[in-house]
Amino acid sequence: MSKPNLPTDDGVTSLAAHRMALVVQKARQIRDASDAFLRDWPTLEVRPPMPAFAWPELERQLLSLALEELGPIIRDLVSAVRKEASPKPPEMVLREILVIAATVLDEDFRLSLAQAPGEGSPMP
């Protein structure tokens, strides 16, 4: 008994399957990273509350600490962290936020932005 040939709607079905595979792969990467993080830093039993803040407030404060040229990068990074935050442990999200802040404040990073890539001359 042979299988009927199903139409693929000009590749739409295979494109949808490919996109779904990418989504599943990303979800697995996040899960694996979360599991590894919790192995390294198990959730503390005593967790005094900290003040709540909103994503726009975080972005605003990071922007205020950064060079103006970093604005688009910071917006993209905060957006990426926000979009992937829900399945991650809170402390992992905090760490990602701290990495963004450290990068924003890193003098070497700021100096590297002041030079054109590979030329060693200041940006216009």
pLDDT at residue 62, rounded to an integer: 97
Q: Within 10 Å of residue 102's Cβ, how many Cβ atoms?
A: 10
The per-residue pLDDT for 5 is 52
Average pLDDT, the chain: 86
pLDDT per position as a tens digit, 37-64:
999 999 999 989 999 999 999 999 999 9
Residue 122: count of CB within 10 angstroms of its CB:
8
Model's pTM, two decimal places? 0.72
Task: For 22-38, write each residue's pLDDT tens digit.
Answer: 999 999 999 999 999 99
Q: Tokens at residue 28, please?
A: 């697995």
Nearest alpha-carbon partner for 84 in 26, 123, 39, 124: 26
